[in-house]
Amino acid sequence: MRRFRITASAFIAAGLLAAGAAHAGADEPIPPEAWRALTTGKTLYYYKDGELFGREYYVNEAGDVIFRFPNGACAEGRWAFAEDQYCFAFAGELHCFRHVKRGESIVVIGVEDGEEQTVERIVEKEPLSCSAAVES
């Protein structure tokens, strides 16, 4: 009986690993030309764990962006693509991500921490209003 439990556990573990590999294989990288066509002149709504993480307006094809946090504070920057990563420079800091299609969703994955954000909406030419950060 003990031998069956080990075999069943091994079988279940193998199935979970296969499911994880299939899920990872479902991520289709978004090439920079497609990202530029998808985003230029538009505002993207990013969500993390079901909560609004921020909105980002892609100003032009040169890569200028404005990111607005939920508290109203904004950061202006620029993005570039290199070595399969999208890197965004804001105030001297570089933040890099992988942009992928996962089924019908667009997922942005942090290169350093692996944290994921999903793009829930893309809105044409929606202006961003920005305010100073709220400090306590």
Q: pLDDT tens digits, residue range 21-54? A: 444 558 999 999 999 999 999 999 999 999 999 9
Higher pLDDT, 44 or 126: 44
What CA–CA distance (Å, rounded) separates 31 from 121? Answer: 19
On whether the pTM is more than 0.85, the answer is no
Query: Which residue in this structure is represented by tokens 């942005």?
Result: 108
- Would you give the distance in Å from CA 111 to the centre of its chain? 10
Residue 67: what pLDDT?
A: 96
Give residue 20's Cα distance to chain centre. 19
What domains are defined for the chain?
A: 28-124 (2.40.128)
| Sequence-distant (≥ 6) Cβ neighbours of residue 113 within 8 angstroms | none
